[in-house]
Amino acid sequence: MSESASISSGIAERYATAVFEIVKENKKLDKLEGNLDDMSAALTESADLRDLLTSPIHSRDAQGAAIGIIAKKMGLIPAMQQVLGLMASKRRLFVVPQMLTQLREMIAAEKGEVTADVVSATALTAAQSEKLAETLKAQMGQTVKINATVDESLIGGLVVKVGSKMIDTSIRSKLNSLQNAMKEVG
């Protein structure tokens, strides 16, 4: 990990820990989880929001005012509104995506959940996601939350990552293995 990425991760972790502890104490983890979904969706959809968080062109005051208005319009809980305001005043908004990730991990650990990153060639149906979560729960012994994405280059099958474990049943992977075996023969 590069030094700047490590520093950003450390900054994000400190803010995430503060928010998590306050929200946990107030028994509002479910509302925080909803806020995280809303923030993640907003970051994905809005180039202007991403620019606001990362561009050094905006002054502290402009960032603080803008993020305050956005947080209120989104209906974020007070702890999130306050931490975003504090981050703006300290010029630390660039770590918001890492903070959201840290908060998700903390909430999952609190609930006894693990997250499985699942990449498939086509979008999984609700029934397929449920069945996969049940199968992974039986293997892991913990509740599994599915984070599904689509990569058409897999051709078919799945790539599942849970923590440090990875299961690759994609057709692309099998074709690559076959290609390597054929190179060894010829």
Q: What's the average model confidence in pLDDT over 51-71?
A: 94
pLDDT for 185: 81
At the topology level, CATH places domain 3-109 in Peroxidase; domain 1 (1.10.520)
Q: Where in the chain is the domain with CATH 1.10.520.20?
A: 3-109
Q: What's the average model confidence in pLDDT over 72-93?
A: 96
pLDDT for 27: 94
For the domain made up of 112-185, the CATH class stated in words is alpha beta
pLDDT above 90: percentage of residues in the chain: 67
**Residue/partner pairs of 33-41 with CB below 8 Å, 24 or more apart:** 33/104, 33/107, 35/74, 35/75, 35/76, 35/77, 35/80, 36/100, 36/103, 36/104, 36/107, 38/74, 38/75, 38/76, 39/74, 39/76, 39/80, 39/96, 39/100, 40/100
The answer to whether the predicted template modeling score (pTM) of the entire model surpasses 0.85 is no
pLDDT for 2: 59
